Structure 1
Amino acid sequence: MSNMETNLQQWHKVVFEKDFDLLNELLDENVEFHSPTLWKPKLGRDVTAYILKMIIEIFEDFEYRRQWINEDSLALEFAATVDGKNLKGIDLIRWNEEGKIVHFEVMLRPLNTLQLVFEKMTKHLQDAGFLPKP
């Protein structure tokens, strides 16, 4: 089994078993996270772990449908629902030589579900102190 296949198995354990201790182990201290709901990337393990845990909790009926693997990256197409609204998306995950996630980017559609995710994420991030409250 290749390193990337092992990384994929570990990532699936995080998502489907909600192994958040493993998530913290997999994230590089300086991971860069790109969200479709945030203007700028978030930098660092703590905020990235918080966002990913939150999304794993918000998304319902989550499943990966297709995957693409190369020497240091995964592209994972997924589907889920949020408050009964369907969404599709792609996780782009890049790993370093130490087996740590150094770059994570998420793309979502359609717009109405993205807006719903934006509202939920913003509230959670404000409540946790990662974004200022209005």
Structure 2
Amino acid sequence: MSDNNLQRWHKVVFEQDMVLLQELLDDNVEFHSPTVWKPKLGRDVTAFILSNVIDLFEDFQYHREWTDGNEMALEFSAAVRGKNVKGVDLIRWNDEGKIIHFEVLVRPLNGLQALFEEMSDRVVAAGFA
């Protein structure tokens, strides 16, 4: 199942398939942002955040990918407003092929700050903050 999940996730990211993103997210998915302590809960807010990040990141690439059953860790690099970032997506799937947990880690601080500024405006404007 993990290879199929990884292929479907790549389709979301690299083909910007937001319909598939909605299908992959469990109704009660838990999203952990690199910029706030409290997780966001639910498909709508998680889909909003992920679709905006996919749109915002420039030169996005996955470098290394680890899968273990229904869990994966995906190392990536990208740029935000000219600032380079490195990060890891930690994704947990249920047995039905839905994402139930998504956590993002990002460094360095200047890239994380650029990401925070861009996403804060979008999240507030959409009413999710």
Q: TM-score, normalized by length of structure 2?
A: 0.99
Q: Which residue of 2 aligns with 1:13?
A: 11
CA distance in 1, matches of 2:70, 2:2: 7
Cα-to-partner distance string for 1:56-79 (whole Å, 9 max, x where unaligned): 011000000000000110100000
Q: Which residue of 1 aligns with 2:106?
A: 108
Q: Which residue of 2 aligns with 1:73?
A: 71
CA distance in 2, matches of 1:17, 1:91: 18
Equivalent position to 1:31, from 21, 29, 32 = 29
Superposition RMSD on alpha carbons, in Å?
0.5
Cα-to-partner distance string for 1:69-95 (whole Å, 9 max, x where unaligned): 001101000000111111000000000
Query: Residue 93 of structure 1 aligns to which amino acid in structure 2?
Result: I
Q: Which residue of 2 aligns with 1:121?
A: 119
Q: Tell me which stretches of 4 or more aligned residues in structure 1 moved more than 6 Å.
A: none
CA distance in 2, matches of 1:18, 1:42: 22
Structure 2's unaligned 5+ residue stretches are: none
Q: Is residue 56 of structure 2 the alignment partner of residue 58 of structure 1?
A: yes
The alignment-based identity, stated in percent, is: 64
Cα-to-partner distance string for 1:18-50 (whole Å, 9 max, x where unaligned): 000000000000000000112210000000000
CA distance in 1, matches of 2:80, 2:14: 17
Equivalenced residue count is 129
